[in-house]
A and B are shown apart, each in its own frame.
Chain A
């Protein structure tokens, strides 16, 4: 080891080695060297390329903007933001200390607390945060044109979404990996904490319901889709049994088998759907699918994890990583051209068929997950911090992970932007507007103020036949649009004639399957998490309810699961049967809920930063918090009180109530008295939910502001950071190890290191 000594004692200038034990190699590297000339040139080139791509997108607004520029602009911006802004946040706020043990190291139990390789943890973290949200939101937002969407997805993630994910990860890592709800209570007192927990619970319920609605809309009257999604359940059961009784631990092996079976299910779906028995068995109306989904959610919540939930999650992870990589490569190869305008007129009025409301605030609420997702704060606290090896890796995992998610959103926007505008609106307008048939839908979209060639009913039927469906009219929810876009891209790569004839239908159902798989994973895992939140809260009330705390009490598990499923199921059924078109009215509620959760997370972060007296840099979390509050509060206000019935729940409610009182039996899109009653009831429920969310979040923000004020007055307050423990392991900080880090790694892996390793 003597040969290593000189290198250890004299690191290159600008580099500091951290040691906690003289007998051990360094446990951390602080690298303050200026970037090398090559790195500088590379950064400048990336910046120039990014600026060029943005110019192509924003200024050369011909009809022929190539979708590749979206991808290039996004990636270049991410690289610059990661290098500079994330680094600034690291230096000024996160201030990682690699001589301090993370919870994963300090509490290492080989199970849920384990120091995990940063690249593997990145995969875990990404699989946990990525879902259907960033795929669906940008597709709906495309009705305003591609430009507002791409700008917000990229700018939003850099200044808001990635900042939230990163800083929540940082504060939770310093607090033993505690959850957001617990941190809210610890840092802002009981009132703020309880309001945060109730808000998190209700927000989860609404998120599950609206995502469920997306799946139901994609599967309604689609025997092919229903068959292939239904097959995921027996496939998962098989995988579960295989892993438990045949070959425990062979996770990749069983997942590859599962995916092969899944592809077989998709391919054979056409044959099943076209056979007489298959069509009668699997052509289900939306209400039936909604009930089946509730039944599934309940089953997944009470059945043991190994049987259904875990194998489903393996399939989902595999598909996530695989399909997203495939789509990115597909876009680069096929290089499709955007058909949507840069900015459409629906950006400025509330007449948009896909969702109601003008650009501000509804663009931000609709895109939600791809730019800022409150839900991520539940992963960044609780799960990921327990696996983080080194504090300095939080930038790569937290900030970098969210950049990747945003990239998924960019690709979703691309798939929508390359569709014919008339086709886009025929798919995304509610059936109350399109009339439900190809002919009426063509008439409707041709009456919209769109550019480009008009569409005929025949063309719509033809497109439907191409993808193996009977109709594509009013398949709202974003998933079918995305699936058609993906089938365009992939058949652009592989062709759709000769040997590859009919592949469009395969890719469409592949994409539907992949979205449904994500969403059902969120539904089953979410139901289970919400069930535990509920039983914990009930148990905390004391008295005879204390028994709910016992996780092995089966009856308690059944009762709580039923309450949770009943909660999201009733909203789901309401959306499915809504005469106004469920997605149109409910999706904004989903977005608002998600963004309000982000407001809670950013409030907790800002409060901690202020308590630590980091006033100069408190704007870093406060800026997205302020913006998010302006957006969500304006959106909530408009949803409640707007005089425009397309936007305001109460206005709609009053109009329909007045019509009923006037003795009318049909009013606007509601053709029967029952439908009118449904609108009156739904708008009441939606309005109430909006008001409850907004109030709960305002309570949390007020509690945060009060704590900040107290902190400023008394010159900082103690936070609930765990006492520090010296670290005794080493790992590089970023994706690639630097030269010095490699050198230190070599010392750690030397056969007989000085001293003993733990």
Chain B
């Protein structure tokens, strides 16, 4: 059970499911008084960043 849970955690982390939560934690720690975006806003901003800074995929 622990192994399956671990694998699930690993896989969802690699895919990016926890990225928003991680960002919110980052904001709370570093900018506790600043505004916190909604999950939709976070992903919009993130894809906008990816639009401007593409990352390569290998052969």
Please indicate the chain B residues that have their CB under 8 angstroms from the CB of A111 in the complex: 23, 46, 49
Give the residues from 1 to 56 in chain B that come closer than 8 angstroms, CB to CB, to chain A: 10-17, 19-20, 22-23, 26-27, 29-30, 39-40, 42-44, 46-47, 49-56
Chain A nearest CB: distance from B13 CB in Å?
Answer: 4
- Report whether A117 and B13 are in contact in the complex, using a CB–CB cutoff of 8 Å: yes
- Report whether B50 and A305 are in contact in the complex, using a CB–CB cutoff of 8 Å: yes
A-B CB pair tally, cutoff 8 Å: 128
User: Which of B14, B42, B52 interacts with A124 by CB under 8 Å?
Assistant: B14
When C-beta atoms are compared, the residue in chain B nearest to A124 turns out to be B14
- In Å, the complex CA distance between A124 and B59 comes to 15
Give the segment of A56-64, A313-321, A646-654 that binds chain B: A313-321
Please indicate the chain B residues that have their CB under 8 angstroms from the CB of A243 in the complex: 43
- Report whether B58 and A522 are in contact in the complex, using a CB–CB cutoff of 8 Å: yes
Please indicate the chain B residues that have their CB under 8 angstroms from the CB of A305 in the complex: 47, 50-51, 54
| Cβ contacts A125-138/B at 8 Å (1 or 0 each) | 00111111100000
Interface size of B as a range: 20 to 34
A207 contacts the other chain (CB 8 A) = yes
Given contacts A111-B49, A114-B22, A375-B59, contact A250 B54 (CB under 8 A): no
Chain B nearest CB: distance from A478 CB in Å?
Answer: 12
Please indicate the chain B residues that have their CB under 8 angstroms from the CB of A133 in the complex: 58-59
A248 contacts the other chain (CB 8 A) = yes
Chain A nearest CB: distance from B52 CB in Å?
Answer: 5
- In Å, the complex CA distance between A594 and B12 comes to 32
Chain A nearest CB: distance from B33 CB in Å?
Answer: 16
Give the segment of A222-230, A525-533, A617-625, A688-696 that binds chain B: A525-533
A376 contacts the other chain (CB 8 A) = yes
When C-beta atoms are compared, the residue in chain A nearest to B55 turns out to be A383
Please indicate the chain B residues that have their CB under 8 angstroms from the CB of A127 in the complex: 14
Please indicate the chain A residues that have their CB under 8 angstroms from the CB of B30 in the complex: 108, 110, 758
User: Which of A110, A124, A373, A529 interacts with B56 by CB under 8 Å?
Assistant: A529
Give the residues from 349 to 375 in chain A that come closer than 8 angstroms, CB to CB, to chain B: 369, 373, 375
User: Which of A131, A249, A317 interacts with B17 by CB under 8 Å?
Assistant: A249
| Cβ contacts A98-133/B at 8 Å (1 or 0 each) | 000000000011111010010110011001111111
- Report whether B47 and A304 are in contact in the complex, using a CB–CB cutoff of 8 Å: yes
Residue among A120, A369, A379 with the highest chain B CB neighbour number at 10 A: A120
Please indicate the chain A residues that have their CB under 8 angstroms from the CB of B10 in the complex: 119-120, 123
User: Which of A114, A252, A525 interacts with B15 by CB under 8 Å?
Assistant: A252
Please indicate the chain B residues that have their CB under 8 angstroms from the CB of A379 in the complex: 55-56, 58
A333 contacts the other chain (CB 8 A) = no
When C-beta atoms are compared, the residue in chain A nearest to B53 turns out to be A112
A551 contacts the other chain (CB 8 A) = yes
- Report whether A110 and B17 are in contact in the complex, using a CB–CB cutoff of 8 Å: no
- Report whether A525 and B59 are in contact in the complex, using a CB–CB cutoff of 8 Å: no
A521 contacts the other chain (CB 8 A) = yes
| Cβ contacts A688-724/B at 8 Å (1 or 0 each) | 0000000000000000000000000000000000000
- Report whether A551 and B52 are in contact in the complex, using a CB–CB cutoff of 8 Å: yes
- Report whether A249 and B59 are in contact in the complex, using a CB–CB cutoff of 8 Å: no
- Report whether A252 and B12 are in contact in the complex, using a CB–CB cutoff of 8 Å: yes
A201 contacts the other chain (CB 8 A) = no
Please indicate the chain A residues that have their CB under 8 angstroms from the CB of B43 in the complex: 243-244, 248-249, 306
Chain B nearest CB: distance from A147 CB in Å?
Answer: 25
A378 contacts the other chain (CB 8 A) = yes
- In Å, the complex CA distance between A309 and B47 comes to 10
- In Å, the complex CA distance between A522 and B58 comes to 6
Give the residues from 243 to 259 in chain A that come closer than 8 angstroms, CB to CB, to chain B: 243-244, 248-252, 255
- In Å, the complex CA distance between A111 and B37 comes to 13
Chain A nearest CB: distance from B9 CB in Å?
Answer: 9
Given contacts A131-B58, A305-B50, contact A317 B15 (CB under 8 A): yes
- Report whether B56 and A378 are in contact in the complex, using a CB–CB cutoff of 8 Å: yes
Please indicate the chain B residues that have their CB under 8 angstroms from the CB of A255 in the complex: 15
Give the residues from 189 to 239 in chain A that come closer than 8 angstroms, CB to CB, to chain B: 207, 211
A657 contacts the other chain (CB 8 A) = no
Chain B nearest CB: distance from A541 CB in Å?
Answer: 21
- Report whether A521 and B57 are in contact in the complex, using a CB–CB cutoff of 8 Å: yes
Chain A nearest CB: distance from B10 CB in Å?
Answer: 6
Chain B nearest CB: distance from A757 CB in Å?
Answer: 8
Chain B nearest CB: distance from A393 CB in Å?
Answer: 16
- Report whether A310 and B47 are in contact in the complex, using a CB–CB cutoff of 8 Å: yes
Given contacts A110-B22, A249-B43, A252-B12, contact A526 B57 (CB under 8 A): yes
- Report whether A110 and B26 are in contact in the complex, using a CB–CB cutoff of 8 Å: yes
Given contacts A130-B58, A131-B57, A526-B56, contact A248 B39 (CB under 8 A): yes
Given contacts A111-B23, A305-B47, A306-B47, contact A321 B14 (CB under 8 A): yes
- Report whether B26 and A382 are in contact in the complex, using a CB–CB cutoff of 8 Å: no
Given contacts A110-B27, A251-B15, A317-B15, contact A522 B57 (CB under 8 A): yes
- In Å, the complex CA distance between A729 and B31 comes to 18
Given contacts A114-B22, A304-B51, contact A525 B56 (CB under 8 A): yes
User: Which of B12, B15, B58 interacts with A373 by CB under 8 Å?
Assistant: B58
- Report whether B14 and A123 are in contact in the complex, using a CB–CB cutoff of 8 Å: yes
Please indicate the chain B residues that have their CB under 8 angstroms from the CB of A117 in the complex: 13
When C-beta atoms are compared, the residue in chain B nearest to A304 turns out to be B51
- Report whether B58 and A376 are in contact in the complex, using a CB–CB cutoff of 8 Å: yes
User: Which of B13, B29, B44 interacts with A244 by CB under 8 Å?
Assistant: B44
Given contacts A111-B49, A244-B43, A249-B39, contact A318 B15 (CB under 8 A): yes
Residue among A133, A249, A309, A521 with the highest chain B CB neighbour number at 10 A: A249
Chain B nearest CB: distance from A132 CB in Å?
Answer: 6
3 A-B pairs closest in CB distance:
A110-B26, A123-B14, A133-B59
Given contacts A248-B39, A305-B47, A376-B58, 13 further A-B contacts (CB under 8 A): A123-B13, A128-B56, A131-B58, A211-B59, A305-B50, A305-B54, A314-B15, A316-B57, A317-B14, A317-B15, A378-B56, A382-B56, A532-B54
Give 29 pairs: A residue, B residue, CB < 8 Å, sorted on A. Answer: A110-B22, A110-B23, A112-B53, A114-B22, A114-B26, A123-B11, A123-B13, A127-B14, A130-B58, A131-B57, A131-B59, A248-B40, A251-B12, A251-B16, A251-B17, A313-B57, A314-B15, A316-B57, A321-B11, A369-B58, A378-B58, A379-B55, A379-B56, A522-B57, A525-B56, A526-B56, A528-B54, A531-B54, A551-B52
Chain B residues in the interface with A (C-beta under 8 A): 10-17, 19-20, 22-23, 26-27, 29-30, 39-40, 42-44, 46-47, 49-59
Chain A residues in the interface with B (C-beta under 8 A): 108-112, 114, 117, 119-120, 123-124, 127-133, 207, 211, 243-244, 248-252, 255, 304-306, 309-310, 313-314, 316-318, 321, 369, 373, 375-376, 378-379, 382-383, 521-522, 525-526, 528-529, 531-532, 551, 594, 758
